[in-house]
């Protein structure tokens, strides 16, 4: 009875606790702040120029061969040339001297309906425009347009699967579209990106009657989420700023667990202090242990994500700690490469639909930006329709969409198994609305039961999905049921984190321990006595075909 009267969000809270860190010490107090700041930048050789611009004419006539990996016509085939200890040394040796790059990017206010002249160098530490708007990274599209779509496709394709620094990274393989002016030596990369675009054949065909369903596994990544794509860019830029002697003591973020993991890993790789603000009891143990292991300063705060976000904004205004949340538009430059990668993986064809789980709402805009850039630079001829999927327990964008985009109101987000998107006051609301309006987009929501069932169903076809991916899959199921998404529509569901970060909710589901959830697709293990008779009985009860065939 008690269970029956328990609200779904309360159920989620209870069972989520088993997965969460509970703000338990786990050595938090024993963590020492690193004593020396920004160690280890001993590289000397400089290679700050790109030479893709050599001549437009030449580029048009000679798209790069698979040997051209540094974007400048300089053959850089790692397997043939590898004879040094460091792939960075090797890349540096191949950098030719001047002329300087013609590609550039700057911050402008995110103000698509009222463009202004206001702009800032990416080397400035600025997160908002004068009147408080979000910023956007604006590329010199005229310079990029000097090269046609064919050129860019060939260049990007030539870099896939190589070890050439830094282009072996799925993000930095698109360097000219991301951070064109950064010195390769300053880049902090774990060769993120190039993630699997998985043909979800059984899930598509058997559950939805679809034959062209794909899951972009962004969570199969260095720290287990798509955040790596943005964090390599942000931490690389911080690395550059430090070398320019900008006053920065470290990099900080508020997080529901994935941003903090990515920030901590990339900062640790570069010897830069990371400071992470986490909502106590609201992230998984697997997520909590990541920044701890990477030596970040971890503050477990008695508030929710939105509270952590307010605090990190206040702190970064007062002390020279660089803000690493997606409020900082640098992050989105890396994240947008997942969209470019999807087109690339389809041989530069555009899917009909892309479904993205949304929380702070930076990623949906990043996807939009990546698709638009491909179209504007002639690699593709259209953009897909975007769907942003939210947990019903944290659904401010969904409510806004349903209200006809009138008067956005933040909500108090309730606990959800999709804990990384338990966000009620998303920073990038304006960016998300813009992306959805301009892609003929849709917003869907998923209840706790729907998202857990969808995730379990996907797992039964060979995936191992996180609850956020469950939210996106659930949106797909609903849109298929309404026939908004057609049987033959090429559809990509973006999986944003690795399921292994969220095992406890899966265990609770499969153990049927979650009140108010039927756990329809639970597959609990069977306790069996260790003798042949008991084992055969158990097998016969689980595998009817055994009995049918006389075993």
Ligand X SMILES: N[C@@H](CCOP(=O)(O)O)C(=O)O
| Binding region for ligand PLP (CB under 6 A) | 225, 256, 258, 326, 357-363, 420-421, 466, 468, 496-497
Measure the CA–CA gap between 151 and 71, rounded to whole angstroms.
10
CB-wise, 189 or 326, nearer to ligand PLP?
326
Neighbours of 86 (CB within 10 A): 10
Residue 73 or residue 362: which is nearer to ligand X going by CB? Answer: 362
**CB nearer ligand PLP, residue 21 or residue 359:** 359
Helix, strand, or coil here: 471?
Answer: helix
**What strands lie across the sheet with 321-323, from one edge to the other?**
297-301, 274-279, 250-254, 321-323
Smallest gap, in angstroms, from Cβ of residue 262 to ligand X? 8
Tell whether residue 325 is a contact of ligand X (CB under 6 A): yes
Residue 362 contacts ligand X per CB under 6 A: yes
Q: Which does 255 bind (CB under 5 to 8 A by kind): ligand X, ligand PLP, none?
A: ligand X
Angle of CA points 359, 335, 168, to nearest 5° = 150
Alpha-carbon gap, residue 133 to 74, rounded angstroms: 41
DSSP-assigned letters across all residues of 82-145: --SS-HHHHHHHH----PPPS--EEEEES-TTS--S--EETTS---B-TTS-BEEEEE-HHHHH
Q: Which of 101, 154, 194, 255 binds ligand X (CB under 6 A)?
A: 255
Q: Does 258 bind ligand X (CB under 6 A)?
A: yes
* Residue 52 interacts with which of ligand PLP, ligand X, none, CB < 5 to 8 Å by class: none
Range in contact with ligand X (rule: CB under 6 A) among 17-25, 126-134, 251-259, 296-304 = 251-259
Q: Choosing among ligand PLP, ligand X, none, which partner's interface includes residue 325 (Cβ < 5 to 8 Å by kind)?
A: ligand X
Compute CA distances 169 → 137, 188, 189, 471, whole Å. Answer: 20, 10, 7, 28
Nearest to 208 by CA among 446, 468, 477, 440: 477
Q: 181 vs 228, which CB is nearer to ligand PLP?
A: 228
Q: Exactly one of 102, 164, 173, 256 binds ligand X (CB under 6 A); which one?
A: 256
Strand 297-301 and strand 213-217: the pairing is unpaired
Q: Could you tell me if 328 and 127 are in contact, meaning their C-beta atoms sit under 8 angstroms apart?
A: yes
Interaction of residue 448 with ligand X, rule CB under 6 A: no
| 498 DSSP 8-state letter | B
505 binds ligand X per the rule CB under 6 A: no
Please identify, among the stretches 106-114, 244-252, 255-263, 336-344, the one whose residues bind ligand X according to the rule CB under 6 A: 255-263
76-135: which residues touch ligand X (CB under 6 A)? none
Under the criterion CB under 6 A, does residue 221 sit at the interface with ligand X? no
Please check whether residue 431 is in contact with residue 365, taking contact to mean a CB–CB distance below 8 angstroms: yes
In the block, tokens 């992050």 appear at: 331
Question: Which listed option, ligand X, ligand PLP, none, makes contact with residue 193 (CB within 5 to 8 Å by class)?
Answer: none
* Count of residues engaged in binding ligand X, rule: CB under 6 A: 14
Taking the complex as a whole, how short is the minimal distance between the CB of residue 278 and ligand PLP, in angstroms? Answer: 12
Q: CB of residue 493 vs ligand PLP: minimum separation in angstroms?
A: 12
Q: Is 294 in the site for ligand X (CB under 6 A)?
A: no
Nearest approach, Cβ of 419 to ligand PLP (angstroms)? Answer: 9
The single residue among 223, 236, 284, 326 that binds ligand X, judged by CB under 6 A, is 326
Report the residue number, 122 or 421, with the smaller CB distance to ligand PLP: 421
Residues in CB range of 213: below 8 A, 6 or more apart: 199, 200, 201, 203, 204, 476, 491, 493
CB neighbours of residue 197 within 10 Å: 18
Residue 408's alpha-carbon distances to 179, 361, 400, 404, in angstroms, are: 32, 14, 6, 10
Binding site for ligand X (CB under 6 A): 253, 255-260, 325-326, 359-360, 362, 420, 427
């Amino acid at each position: 009875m008690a269970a029956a009267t328990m609200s779904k969000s309360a159920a989620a809270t209870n069972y989520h606790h088993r997965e969460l860190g509970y703000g338990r010490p786990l050595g938090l107090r024993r963590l020492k702040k690193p004593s020396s700041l920004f160690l280890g930048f001993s590289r000397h050789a400089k290679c700050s120029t790109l030479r893709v611009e050599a001549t437009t004419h030449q580029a048009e006539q000679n798209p790069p061969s698979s040997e051209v990996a540094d974007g400048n016509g300089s053959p850089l085939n790692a397997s043939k040339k590898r004879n040094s200890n460091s792939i960075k040394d090797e890349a540096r040796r191949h950098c030719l001297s001047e002329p300087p790059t013609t590609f550039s990017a700057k911050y402008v206010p995110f103000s698509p309906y009222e463009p202004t002249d206001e702009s800032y160098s990416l080397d400035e530490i600025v997160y908002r425009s004068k009147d408080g708007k979000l910023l956007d990274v604006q590329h010199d599209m005229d310079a990029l347009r000097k090269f046609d779509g064919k050129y860019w496709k060939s260049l990007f394709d030539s870099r896939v699967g190589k070890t050439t620094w830094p282009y072996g990274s799925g993000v930095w393989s698109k360097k000219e579209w991301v951070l064109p002016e950064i010195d390769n030596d300053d880049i902090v990369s774990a060769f993120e990106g190039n993630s699997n675009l998985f043909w979800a054949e059984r899930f598509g065909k058997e559950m939805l009657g679809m034959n062209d369903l794909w899951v972009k596994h962004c969570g199969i990544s260095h720290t287990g989420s798509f955040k790596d794509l943005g964090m390599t860019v942000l931490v690389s830029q911080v690395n550059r700023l430090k070398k320019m002697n900008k006053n920065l003591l470290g990099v900080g973020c508020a997080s529901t667990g994935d941003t903090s993991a990515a920030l901590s890993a990339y900062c640790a790789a570069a010897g830069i202090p990371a400071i992470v603000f986490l909502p106590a009891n609201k992230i998984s143990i697997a997520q909590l242990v990541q920044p701890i292991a990477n030596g970040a300063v971890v503050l477990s705060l008695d508030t929710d994500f939105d509270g952590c976000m307010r605090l990190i904004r206040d702190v970064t205004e007062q002390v020279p700690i660089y803000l690493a949340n997606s409020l900082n538009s640098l992050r989105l430059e890396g994240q947008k490469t997942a969209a470019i990668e999807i087109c690339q993986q389809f041989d530069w064809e555009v899917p009909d639909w892309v479904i993205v789980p949304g929380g702070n709402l930076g990623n949906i805009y990043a996807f939009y930006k990546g698709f638009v850039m491909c179209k504007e630079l002639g690699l593709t001829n259209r953009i897909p329709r975007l769907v942003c999927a939210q947990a019903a327990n944290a659904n401010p964008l969904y409510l806004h969409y349903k209200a006809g985009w009138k008067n956005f109101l933040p909500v108090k987000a309730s606990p959800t198994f999709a804990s990384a998107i338990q966000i009620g006051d998303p920073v990038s609301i304006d960016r998300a609305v813009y992306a959805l309006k301009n892609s003929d987009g849709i917003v869907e929501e998923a209840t706790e039961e729907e998202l857990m069932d969808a995730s379990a169903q996907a797992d039964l076809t060979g995936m191992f999905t996180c609850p956020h991916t469950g939210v996106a899959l659930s949106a797909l199921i609903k849109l298929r049921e309404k026939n908004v998404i057609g049987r033959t529509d090429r559809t990509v569901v973006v999986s944003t984190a690795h399921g292994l970060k969220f095992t406890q909710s899966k265990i609770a589901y499969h153990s049927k321990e979650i009140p108010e959830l039927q756990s329809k697709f639970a597959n609990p293990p069977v306790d069996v006595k260790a003798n042949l008779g008991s084992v055969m009985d158990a097998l016969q009860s689980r595998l009817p075909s055994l009995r049918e065939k006389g075993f």
